[in-house]
Amino acid sequence: MNLDLPDLKSLPHQDASQLRDKWDDVVDLVHSTGSVAVASRTDVEADMVLLDADRYEQLVAVVQNLQAREQVRLAEVTADYANQLDVLRQPDVRAKLQSVFDARGRQRVPAKAGQSF
């Protein structure tokens, strides 16, 4: 999953005077705690979370790091798959696999018990 978080400077900005009565108190709380859950009514779960800029940038850095690791792992898996396909594309592989299927679990030469048997 690719989580695309916009850069802090590209987020929409709104003038604090356009928000509700105690916006300044909410801002102070966000600055002191790093984040605040906001609900539209007191009897429901949070509708949104307000983050201070530092916390948001930390979150973006973590997500970008995870996405980079995901891309590296995806490249590794893709390379492994390509190597397996290359092995299966060898000219003699088809005949070898067909002989395994044709044997139907039977061995050409009976198995011998080892020295420890």
Percentage of the chain beyond pLDDT 90 is 23
Residues 30-55: tens digit of each pLDDT: 888 777 777 766 655 667 778 888 88
Q: Which helix (DSSP H) or strand (DSSP E) does residue 4 occupy? A: none
Quick: pLDDT tens for 6-19: 565 655 555 444 45
CA distance 80 to 90: 16
Q: Where do the domains of the chain lie?
A: 16-51, 53-104
Q: What is the pTM of this model?
A: 0.59
What is the structure's pLDDT at 109? Answer: 80
Structure token pair of residue 24: 């300044």
DSSP per residue over 11-59, as a string? S----GGGS-TTHHHHHHHHHHHSEEEE-SSTTS--SEEEE-HHHHHHH
Q: What percent of the chain has pLDDT over 70?
A: 75
